[in-house]
């Protein structure tokens, strides 16, 4: 069973709220805990994603559950180059911060 979140329809085309990011993160974890794999996040129509949204929705999951878990359970599709860059930067920053805390 798969599950798709149409990000633009659910959260809008310009994403910046940590609260909405937490809602998305909870949806992802709820679906994967129920055995839904993968959860697909469809970014079609999304124009901008703030670092705080990308961090709260995606980077937190990568840092907490690991890259392997994320790759097995979550798919990101239809990202524009700028949205992709925002997501990658947030994940990189979160993971580097987590590594620094462990040292």
Closest CA to 49 of 7, 100, 94: 7
| Dist CA 80 CA 86 (whole Å) | 10
Q: How confident is the model at residue 103 (pLDDT cuts 50, 70, 90)?
A: very low
Length, in residues, of the chain: 103
User: Quick check: helix, strand or coil at residue 22?
Assistant: helix
Span 14-32, pLDDT tens digits: 999 999 999 999 999 999 9
Its domain, for residue 86, covers: 3-102
Span 30-88, pLDDT tens digits: 999 999 999 999 999 999 999 999 999 999 999 999 999 999 999 999 999 999 999 99
Q: How confident is the model at residue 101 (pLDDT cuts 50, 70, 90)?
A: low
Residues 6+ apart with CB under 8 A from 87: 49, 54, 58, 59, 76, 79
Tokens of 62: 């990568």
Tokens of 48: 């901008």
Q: What is the pLDDT of residue 100?
A: 62
Q: Domain count of the chain?
A: 1
Span 6-15, pLDDT tens digits: 999 999 999 9
């Amino acid at each position: 069973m798969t599950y798709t979140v149409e990000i633009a329809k659910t959260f809008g085309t310009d994403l910046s709220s940590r609260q909405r990011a937490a809602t998305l993160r909870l949806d992802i974890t709820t679906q994967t805990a129920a055995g839904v794999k993968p959860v697909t996040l469809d970014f079609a129509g999304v124009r901008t994603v703030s670092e705080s949204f990308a961090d709260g929705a995606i980077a937190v999951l990568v840092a907490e559950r690991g890259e392997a878990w994320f790759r097995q359970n979550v798919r990101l599709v239809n990202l524009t180059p700028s949205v992709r860059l925002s997501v990658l930067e947030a994940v990189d920053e979160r993971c580097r911060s987590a590594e620094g805390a462990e040292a």
